[in-house]
């Protein structure tokens, strides 16, 4: 029953989406507002249908309806309920349906929340949103259907197994007990708390960028190329960016906890595929400010929106088609060709539309550039850095491997070695601009004024660098990195401090009130500074954990110790072949961590062996702000009762990455928080006097 | 004569000591006795290689049996006195440039590393051109107020609302 409900609601969602496109375009063409209203309602209906379909699949997984092929492939009777819930996005079909449902929710929210303020753009926004949604619904219905069920063809000699949604003539359902017994279960790599949040956050980030893309297409299609589409999109860009950032951070944490290699970012092509839209999305966040404030970079902003969403679709194609192989290959399938064609069509159409509008002269800047030393020129440089990072990461992940395979008949991999050569100078430049740009003024600023603003952060940076040098930081690379990162962080702190002191002087209020009022009065500005502060703390963590990481691997007998940095790792005992409630077999080592002869922690690093044949290495970790002691029970050496092989990492300052991320997210929430600057009655009366479409014809 | 010979031997020994010490530190072409090859030495080389069967997974962290064997092979080669470069080159010769993080083949290496540098330089030139273009576009710039047709009424209403 659930399979039928899910299947037919997905079909209805598709029909509603097609109707929405036709009705919206008819409405704008024939100047019939009722048709556009009807299209909006169809968007909401489509959303309800897809959410119902996703709920039906979720219930089927939780209720263990193993006749459904997807349920059979991602769950089994020994899996706890928590992982049954996360199994919704645990493989290709389910994650595509989940993706479609999230996309439909974003579409419905975008249309309803912007309905009054952006009536003229709406028909085109609806048409764009629904066109993309239809493609994903099509994938769910025709390529990766999560509602297919197992059937046994009783007419065939060998009782052939069929996989269809509806029962074929002469086919019977297989035995429930047999299906439950053979059910495969979720990939062990996905059985982690991080996987409960990481994929939904990533998907929310991806689908979130559809909304600004739809507004950009609508602006180009309608000819309303004023700042209306930017105003409507900015918050959506921030929301999408927030979710994508969260997704990337949680992905890093998952890798750190589950993949067992002591790191959080491996420059894996699939990780990079999610990083690419983040890079251009960050550039976009900055450049739309220039258009809002100065009426400049109109073409560039449209290009960035297109590039961001295009890279989302390309990343999805790369992740799910098998174009690149990685630890994420659990989501591979045969959607490559339709996905590639969709990506190409979408990008080509959007770029053609952009070039057409540009050739009409509708994208001219409203102001001219006055000085190299202005906020807009520094933001342009910031955009250059992000786009350069986008290019070098895209080239290393996809460009060079594909070029060499297509034209030189050779497979190559560009790994950490390549990325650590080409990205650090660009990241350094990014941090420098992050420090300097907020201090410059729109239009023009003088070198003396900029120097004066930078004086205090520079002094603080010099003091910090002296302290670091005296306390033993001796690498030139690390000193340069820390210097630049600290400078940008001190700029944010000093600017927040200036605002705070100014309020204190004027209002004579309590420090807490001054501080909160500062953020409440100008959330964009001070939220932005908090984001910069978070990025600074992440930078300190990245430099520490990358440049000063230590590792060793040794085989120890029971009672023996290995020494690394000023830590002693003592192997106490092993608990072999422990059987878990979910059926996996665990080898658990008991390890004591000592520092200066004193016991500071007891750890239980382990190896999990699943019935599917997969093995997981789960680290034991002693975490402090100073560093992580990360101990692995290594799998590639014989483990016996007498000896075991351990790989131990010391990851300095790695926890600053997670704490910095927390501050970054807090800053983004402050920046994106709705601020009702225009009373609703004014908005309503403005809506009534706004002219109807500019270029409907 | 004998005294001179003794002095020469002592001087030679004194000169040879640091050279021998440096040679011992370098260790490049000196075979490592089997018992002294450590897991860290094996991992140091394995971390520079990628698993030839599971793409994009470094050899030192790959958990497959095949990778166990390759790591053991690295250990054997170290024991036989092969240098780090020789072992990496041997892997590249057998499995191709995909097993290293940056290709060893000069053409592929140049393609991989020079392309992003060229692209970034072109980007910088593009921005410089844009800055220059902005400065010369003074006459063609569109006045801001002409393009925001609906904002005037919006602002008027907003101001009247604020005035009450």
Instruction: Return the structure tokens found at A569.
Output: 């790792």
pLDDT value at residue A21? 97
Interval A443-493: pLDDT, tens: 777 788 888 889 999 999 999 999 999 988 888 999 999 999 999 999 999
Q: What is the pLDDT of residue B18?
A: 40
Contact A313, A70 (CB under 8 A): no
In chain A, the residue whose alpha carbon lies closest to the alpha carbon of B122 is A388
pLDDT one-digit tens code per residue, A313-325: 998 888 777 776 5
* A interface test, pick of B37, B56, B137, B159 with most A CB neighbours within 10 Å: B56
| Across A211-225, average pLDDT | 93
A440 vs B92, residue with greater confidence:
B92
Confidence of residue B27 (pLDDT cuts 50, 70, 90): very low
Q: How confident is the model at residue A585 (pLDDT cuts 50, 70, 90)?
A: confident
- Contact (Cβ atoms closer than 8 angstroms) between residue A523 and residue A675: yes
Q: Which of A6-20, A139-153, B142-156 has the lowest mean pLDDT?
A: B142-156
DSSP state of A174: P
CB contact under 8 A, B99 and A410: no
* All residues at 6 or more sequence positions from A660 whose CB lies less than 8 Å from its CB, including other chains: A534, A535, A536, A537, A538, A539, A540, A541
| Reported pTM | 0.86
Confidence band of A50 (pLDDT split at 50, 70, 90): very high
CA distance to partner chain B, nearest, from residue A226 (Å):
6
Q: H or E segment at A21?
A: helix A2-29
Mean pLDDT of chain B: 72
CA-to-CA distance for A378 and A437, rounded, in angstroms?
A: 6
Q: Among A268, A324, A368, whose Cβ lies nearest the Cβ of B135?
A: A368
CA distance A266 to chain B (A): 9
Would you call A461 an interface residue with chain B, using a CB distance cutoff of 8 Å?
Answer: no
Q: Which residues of A touch B138 (CB under 8 A)?
A: 368
Nearest CA in chain B to A382: B127
* DSSP-based three-state secondary structure for A166: coil
Indicate the helix (H) or strand (E) that contains A628: strand A627-633
Closest CA to A663 of A562, A540, A573: A540
CA distance A252 to chain B (A): 16
The distance of B26 to chain A (nearest Cα, Å) reads 20
Residues of B in contact with A326 (CB under 8 A): 55-57
pLDDT at A536 over 70: yes
Q: What percentage of chain A carries pLDDT values higher than 90?
A: 54
Considering only the beta carbons, identify the residue of B56, B119, B157 that sits closest to A685: B157
Look at residue A25 in the predicted model and tell me its pLDDT.
95
Measured CA to CA, the distance from residue A83 to residue A428 in angstroms comes to 41
Per DSSP, A399 falls in state I
Nearest-CA residue of chain A relative to B70? A636
pLDDT at residue A529 in the model: 93
Phi, psi values for residue A621, rounded to 5°: -130, 135
**Lowest-confidence segment of A32-36, A406-410, B79-83 by average pLDDT:** A406-410
What pairing do the DSSP bridges indicate for beta strands A615-618 and A606-609? antiparallel
Q: How confident is the model at residue A634, as a pLDDT?
A: 84
Q: Please name the member of A225, A636, A645 whose beta carbon is closest to the beta carbon of B63.
A: A636
- Asked which of A312-321, A538-547, B129-138 is least confident by mean pLDDT, the reply is B129-138
From chain B residues 47-86, the ones with a CB under 8 A of any chain A CB are 48, 50, 54-58, 60-61, 63, 67-68, 71
Helix (H) or strand (E) holding A556: strand A550-557
**pLDDT value at position A538?**
96
Q: What part of A 414-453 touches B (C-beta under 8 Å)?
A: 414-418, 421-422, 426
Enter the ipTM.
0.77
Decide which of A582 and B102 is more confident: B102
Cβ distance A682 to B143 less than 8 Å, yes or no, reads no
CB contact under 8 A, A395 and B119: yes
Measured distance CA(A243)–CA(A133) in Å, rounded: 20
Cβ under 8 Å to B: A residues 213-242:
225-228
**What does the alpha-carbon distance between residue A294 and residue A288 come to, in Å, rounded to a whole number?**
10
Q: Residue A165 — very low, low, confident or very high, per pLDDT cuts 50/70/90?
A: confident
* A325 contact residues in B (CB cutoff 8 A): 54-56
Assess A369–B contact: CB distance below 8 Å, yes or no. Answer: yes
**Whole-number average pLDDT of chain A:** 88
Task: Band the pLDDT of A152: cuts 50, 70, 90.
Answer: confident
Mutate to test the interface with B, among A273, A394, A405, A413 (most CBs of B within 10 A): A413
Say yes or no for a CB contact (<8 Å) between A395 and B116.
Answer: yes
Per the structure block, which two tokens stand in for A420?
A: 């650590």
Stronger pLDDT, A696 or B140, i.e. the higher one:
B140
Taking alpha carbons only, the member of A582, A555, A553 closest to residue A260 is A553
CA distance A116 to chain B (A): 13
**Do residue B120 and residue A391 have CB atoms under 8 angstroms apart?**
yes
Instruction: For residue A448, count CB atoms less than 10 angstroms from its CB and return exposed for 0-12, middle for 13-18, buried for 19 or more.
Output: exposed
CB contact under 8 A, A691 and B150: yes
Instruction: Grade residue A693 by pLDDT with cuts at 50, 70 and 90.
Output: very low
B142 phi, psi to nearest 5 deg: -85, 130
Does the structure show a pLDDT above 80 at B152? no
Q: A20-34 pLDDT, tens per residue?
A: 999 999 999 998 999
Looking at the complex, report in whole angstroms how far the Cα of residue B34 sits from the nearest Cα belonging to chain A: 16
Greatest mean pLDDT among A155-164, A288-297, A590-599 lies in: A590-599
Q: What is the pLDDT of residue A310?
A: 96
| Cβ-based contacts of A380 with chain B (< 8 Å) | 127, 130-131
- Find out whether A186 and A90 touch, Cβ atoms under 8 Å: yes
Q: State pLDDT tens for residues A354-401.
A: 999 999 888 887 777 777 778 888 888 999 999 999 999 999 999 898
The CA distance from A92 to A335, in Å, is: 10
- In chain A, the residue whose alpha carbon lies closest to the alpha carbon of B49 is A415
B117 near A CB under 8 A: yes
CA nearest neighbour of A457 among A499, A431, A495: A495
Residues of chain A in contact with residue B153, where contact means CB-CB under 8 angstroms, are 686, 689-690
Residue of chain B with shortest Cα separation from A229: B148
Short-list B46, B54, B63, CA closest to B100: B46
For residue B147, the model assigns a pLDDT of 43
How confident is the model at residue A504, as a pLDDT? 87
A-B contacts at Cβ under 8 angstroms: 177
- pLDDT of A531 > 50? The answer is yes
A561 touches B at CB < 8 Å? no
Q: Is B147 on the interface with A (CB under 8 A)?
A: yes
Helix ranges, chain B (H)? 2-26, 39-46, 65-79, 84-95, 106-136, 144-147, 151-163
| pLDDT over threshold 90, residue A270 | no
Q: What average pLDDT does the segment B118-146 reach? A: 71
Residue A257, pLDDT score: 87
Residue A207 and residue A309: Cα distance in Å, rounded?
9
Instruction: Output the pLDDT for position A138.
Output: 95
Report DSSP state, residue A30: T
Instruction: Test B153 with A414 for CB contact under 8 angstroms.
Output: no
Is pLDDT of B42 > 60? yes
Q: Which of A141-145, A349-353, A577-581 has the lowest mean pLDDT?
A: A577-581
CA distance B140 to chain A (A): 8
pLDDT level of residue A129 (50, 70, 90 thresholds): very high
**Tokens 């860009």 identify what position?**
A237
Q: Are B147 and A226 within 8 A, CB to CB?
A: yes
């Amino acid at each position: 029953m659930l399979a039928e409900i899910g299947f037919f609601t997905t079909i209805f969602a598709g029909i509603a989406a097609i109707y929405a496109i036709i009705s919206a375009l008819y409405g704008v063409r024939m100047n019939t507002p009722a048709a556009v209203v009807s299209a909006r309602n169809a968007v909401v209906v489509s959303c309800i249908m897809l959410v119902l379909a996703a709920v039906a699949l979720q219930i089927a997984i939780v209720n263990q309806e193993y006749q459904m092929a997807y349920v059979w492939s991602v769950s089994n009777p020994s899996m706890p309920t928590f992982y049954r819930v996360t199994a919704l996005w645990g493989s290709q079909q389910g994650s595509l349906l989940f993706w479609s449902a999230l996309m439909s929710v974003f579409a419905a929210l975008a249309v309803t929340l912007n309905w009054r303020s952006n009536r003229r753009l709406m028909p085109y926004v609806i048409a764009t949103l629904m066109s993309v949604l239809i493609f994903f619904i099509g994938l769910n219905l025709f390529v990766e259907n999560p509602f297919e069920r197992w059937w046994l063809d009783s007419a065939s000699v060998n009782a052939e197994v069929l996989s269809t949604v509806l029962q074929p003539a002469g086919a019977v359902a297989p035995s429930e007990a047999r299906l439950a017994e053979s059910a495969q279960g979720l990939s062990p790599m996905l059985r982690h708390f991080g996987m409960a949040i990481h994929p939904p956050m990533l998907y929310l980030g991806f689908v979130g960028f559809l909304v600004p893309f739809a507004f950009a297409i609508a602006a180009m299609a309608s000819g309303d190329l004023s700042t209306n589409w930017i105003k409507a999109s900015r918050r959506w860009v921030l929301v999408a960016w927030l979710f994508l950032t969260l997704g990337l951070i949680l992905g890093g944490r998952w890798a750190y906890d589950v993949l067992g290699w002591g790191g959080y970012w491996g420059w894996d092509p699939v990780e990079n595929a999610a990083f690419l839209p983040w890079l251009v999305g960050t550039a976009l966040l900055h450049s739309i400010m220039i258009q809002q404030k100065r009426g400049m970079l109109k073409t560039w902003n449209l290009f960035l929106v297109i590039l961001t969403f295009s890279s989302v679709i390309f990343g999805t194609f790369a992740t799910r088609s098998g174009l690149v192989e990685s630890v994420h290959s659990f989501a591979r399938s045969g959607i490559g060709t339709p996905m590639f064609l969709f990506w190409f069509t979408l990008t080509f159409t959007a770029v053609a539309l952009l070039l057409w509008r540009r050739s009409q002269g509708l994208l001219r800047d409203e102001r001219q550039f006055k000085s190299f030393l202005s906020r807009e020129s520094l933001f342009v440089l910031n955009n250059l850095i992000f786009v350069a990072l986008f290019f070098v990461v895209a080239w290393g992940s996809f460009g060079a491997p594909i070029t060499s395979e297509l034209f030189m008949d050779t497979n190559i991999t560009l790994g950490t070695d390549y990325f650590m050569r080409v990205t650090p100078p660009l990241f350094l430049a990014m941090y420098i601009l992050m420090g300097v740009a907020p201090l410059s003024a729109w239009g023009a600023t003088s070198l003396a004024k900029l120097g004066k603003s930078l004086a205090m952060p520079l002094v603080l940076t010099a003091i910090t660098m002296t302290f670091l040098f005296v306390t033993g930081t001796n690498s030139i690379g690390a000193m340069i990195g820390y210097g630049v990162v600290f400078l940008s962080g001190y700029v944010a702190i000093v600017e927040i401090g200036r605002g705070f002191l100014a309020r204190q002087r004027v209002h004579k209020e309590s420090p807490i009130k001054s501080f909160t009022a500062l953020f409440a009065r100008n959330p964009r500005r001070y939220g932005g500074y908090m984001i910069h502060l978070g990025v600074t703390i992440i930078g300190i963590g990245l430099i520490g954990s990358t440049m000063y990481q230590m590792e060793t691997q040794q085989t120890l007998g029971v009672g023996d110790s290995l020494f690394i940095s000023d830590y002693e790792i003592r192997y106490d005992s092993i608990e072999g072949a422990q059987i878990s409630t979910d059926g996996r077999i665990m080898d658990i080592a008991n390890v004591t961590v000592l520092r200066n002869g004193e016991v500071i922690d007891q750890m239980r690093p382990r190896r999990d062996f699943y019935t599917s044949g997969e093995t997981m290495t789960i680290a034991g970790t002693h975490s402090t702000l100073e560093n992580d002691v990360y101990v692995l029970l290594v799998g590639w050496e014989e483990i016996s009762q007498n000896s075991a092989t351990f790989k131990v990492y010391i990851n300095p300052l790695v926890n600053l990455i997670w704490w910095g991320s927390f501050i970054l997210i807090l800053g983004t929430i402050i920046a994106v928080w709705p601020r009702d600057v225009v009373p609703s009655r004014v908005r309503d009366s403005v809506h009534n006097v706004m002219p109807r479409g500019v270029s409907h014809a | 004569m004998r005294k001179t010979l003794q002095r020469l031997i002592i001087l030679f020994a004194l000169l040879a000591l640091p050279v021998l010490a440096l040679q011992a530190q370098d260790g490049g072409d000196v075979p490592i006795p089997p018992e002294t090859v450590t897991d860290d030495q094996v991992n140091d080389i394995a971390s520079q290689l990628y698993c030839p069967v599971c793409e994009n997974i470094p050899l030192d962290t790959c958990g497959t049996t095949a990778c166990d064997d390759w790591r053991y092979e690295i250990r054997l080669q170290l024991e036989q006195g092969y240098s780090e470069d020789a072992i990496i080159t041997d892997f590249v010769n057998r499995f191709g440039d995909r097993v290293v993080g940056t290709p060893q083949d000069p053409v592929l290496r140049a393609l991989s590393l020079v392309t992003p540098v060229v692209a970034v330089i072109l980007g910088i030139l593009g921005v410089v051109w844009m800055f220059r273009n902005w400065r010369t576009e003074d006459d063609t710039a569109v006045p801001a107020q002409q393009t925001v047709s609906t904002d005037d009424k919006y602002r008027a209403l907003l101001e009247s609302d604020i005035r009450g």
